[in-house]
Amino acid sequence: INKYRPESSEQEVREITRLLTDAEYEVISQPEESSGKDLAIAGGNMYEKGLTGAEVATAIANGLKSGLNCRIVRNTKGAPTCELQALSNPNLNIPTKNALTKVVASLKKALPYALTPTQKSQITHLIRYFEKGDVEEFRQMNIQWVKDGTKSKVDFMMGYVEVYADYLNQIGSWESYVQIIDPKMTSLSVNLAKNAQGFEDEMPYGQFKKKFPENYSPPALMVYYFQELSTFHSGGYNLPNFDDIRRDVGAKNIIRLDLPGMEKDKTTLKIRREMFEEFLPKSKVDGVMQDWLAQRRAMVLLHEIIGHGSGTYDVTKYGEKEDPVGALGSLGSALEEQRADQAGLVFAADPRLVKVGYYRNADEAQRVRNAMYDAYLGHFLQRVSKEQSLSEAHQRGHWMLINMLMEKGVVVKESKNGGPATDQDFVLAVTDYNRFHKVSTELLGELQRIKANRDEAALKNIFAKYAPLNEIKASWLQAVIKRGQKLAINAGSIEQPWQIKNGSIVTFGGETLESIAPYLNL
């Protein structure tokens, strides 16, 4: 603490130490949707400690403007105000000021090494954004990033980006990615992206299907990347989040590749098998392990390239530059992430994936699709055991789908080893893979309808009915949390340090956290 926050007072050091060592102190929780109830005791640093949801709501009604690079704090009169996260703010807290100063200095050093004029412009706008805080500079940075497409073989994204962590869906979390493009794998994703119109034509979207320009092919990069993201281990992303930029300029898809050789690493495979043996029917474990990489990559490709990029909406229901996801409030992100997931589940065995060379034939496509459905259920339980909550945006959407599937008998609880299921050994099992596909298609259509028509009442109702957060207290989910404690690694994700040397990836440390730890500050 003294090394990284030398300005901390003794009281702050005590609080930070307790936060890092006491599992019961300031446990992260999600404020109640819309009302912000329990904001004062929720974890995170987007709102000054002690601020209540009622105070924030009153301030917003009186003109308070939140935004991507805000932190809501009390002003000298005790009223909530936006603390702009930019160097131009004289009241910026010292840790953030120090960090942004280093970021800006590094970006200025990077300018002469920009690989293309658009990448140089991207860096220039980002520097101005961190210095002045004008979100229009961030918008322009996103535009230049999209226009750069696949030209730069080393690509990056940085800033206050995703709004999942904010109960009002306004404040962005800090994220940075530096990605090295794999040209061979990228050719596969680019070919898939060329089929965007074909997928769109089969979407259950009614009148709200997109008509892409002729020869439309959004940039789709398969990459190895360094990641800095506070709350979520990402398998890929689709940006920008500004819907008018998506409409007028386009979007860009980044799909993460595992480090070369990782799919054969014995330790990784052992950890993965242990998790599936705990949370899948015994008869499904070998199949999911066999098709792990194929189903996971298919989901990410379809989620990012086809799902997020699909659909249009009633423009009369939204402002000219209003993003539908943000406009739909605290549930907007959960809806959008599940809408993209539904595209992956619906099109996992689509013949176009055979056409572009992703699958060898239709039989393989069907087998991998079924493995995807099995893995989806196992991963849901594993994430419940890890996060001990249902509130994270992606998980909230999974919870909705699974409850729908259980209601229709498409997914049931059964013992992982056979016999009657108990809280201590149950798993979620698919009874009919084709009906799973049918329910997924229906939900995809409904989520698009809600988004397109800004049907906020239907949005609240569907999540209230099928994704209640208080169900985490139920005995069966509490049992899942306890079962997760048996797993060797279940607390989070470790990004193993690595560098590129002479064109090859070199990793540091061995197979244990203790061997990796000395290199984490590379």
β-strand partners of 121: none
Residue type, 271: I
Is the model's pLDDT at 521 over the cut of 70? no
Is the four-CA dihedral 478, 16, 101, 79 of positive or negative sign?
A: positive
Three-class secondary structure of residue 110 per DSSP: helix
Q: Which residue has the higher pLDDT, 426 or 27?
A: 426
β-strand partners of 81: 73
pLDDT at 431 (0 to 100): 97
What are the angstrom distances between the C-alpha of 165 and each of 46, 130, 395, 414?
9, 21, 13, 34
SS3 assignment for 179-238: EEECHHHHHHHHHHHCCHHHHHHCCCCCCCCCCCCCCCCCCEEEEEEEEEECCCCCCEEE
Query: Cα–Cα distance between 521 and 150 in angstroms, integer?
Result: 29
Closest CA to 60 of 36, 89, 84: 36
- Per-residue model confidence as pLDDT tens digits over 305-362: 999 989 999 999 998 878 898 889 889 999 999 999 999 999 999 999 999 999 999 9
Mean pLDDT of the chain: 89
CB count, 10 Å around CB of 3? 5
The two structure tokens encoding residue 65: 């403007």
Query: Cα–Cα distance between 454 and 410 in angstroms, integer?
Result: 29
Beta strands in 246-395 (DSSP E): 252-256
Q: What are phi and psi of 87, to 5 degrees?
A: -70, -20
Residue type, 76: T
Residue type, 275: M
Binning pLDDT at 50, 70 and 90, where does residue 419 land? confident
CB count, 10 Å around CB of 512? 9
Residue type, 331: L
CB 79 within 8 A of CB 48: no
Is the model's pLDDT at 143 over the cut of 60? yes
Tokens 């954004």 belong to 129
Is the model's pLDDT at 229 over the cut of 70? no
CB 43 within 8 A of CB 26: yes
Three-class secondary structure of residue 147 per DSSP: helix
Q: Is 457 exposed, middle or buried (0-12, 13-18, 19+ CB in 10 A)?
A: exposed
pLDDT at 374 (0 to 100): 98
Is the model's pLDDT at 223 over the cut of 90? no
Q: What are phi and psi of 260, to 5 degrees?
A: -55, 130
- Per-residue model confidence as pLDDT tens digits over 474-503: 999 999 999 998 887 775 556 667 776 776
Closest CA to 305 of 195, 193, 203, 181: 193
Q: Which residue has the higher pLDDT, 269 or 24?
A: 269
Is the four-CA dihedral 216, 218, 222, 223 of positive or negative sign?
A: positive
Three-class secondary structure of residue 71 per DSSP: strand
Strands 220-229 and 252-256 turn out to be: parallel
End-to-end C-alpha distance for the chain, whole angstroms: 18
Query: Cα–Cα distance between 307 and 230 in angstroms, integer?
Result: 24
Is the model's pLDDT at 92 over the cut of 60? yes
pLDDT at 511 (0 to 100): 63
DSSP letter for each residue of 292-343? HHHHHHHHHHIIIIIITT-----GGGS-TT--HHHHTGGGHHHHHHHHHHHH
Please tell me the least confidently modeled range out of 11-15, 39-43, 414-418, 484-488.
39-43
Tokens 């220039």 belong to 124
pLDDT at 495 (0 to 100): 63
Buried b / exposed e over 398-427, threshold 16 CB at 10 Å, is bbbbbbbbeeeebbeebbbeeeebeeebbb
Q: What are phi and psi of 29, to 5 degrees?
A: -140, 165
Query: Cα–Cα distance between 157 and 122 in angstroms, integer?
Result: 9
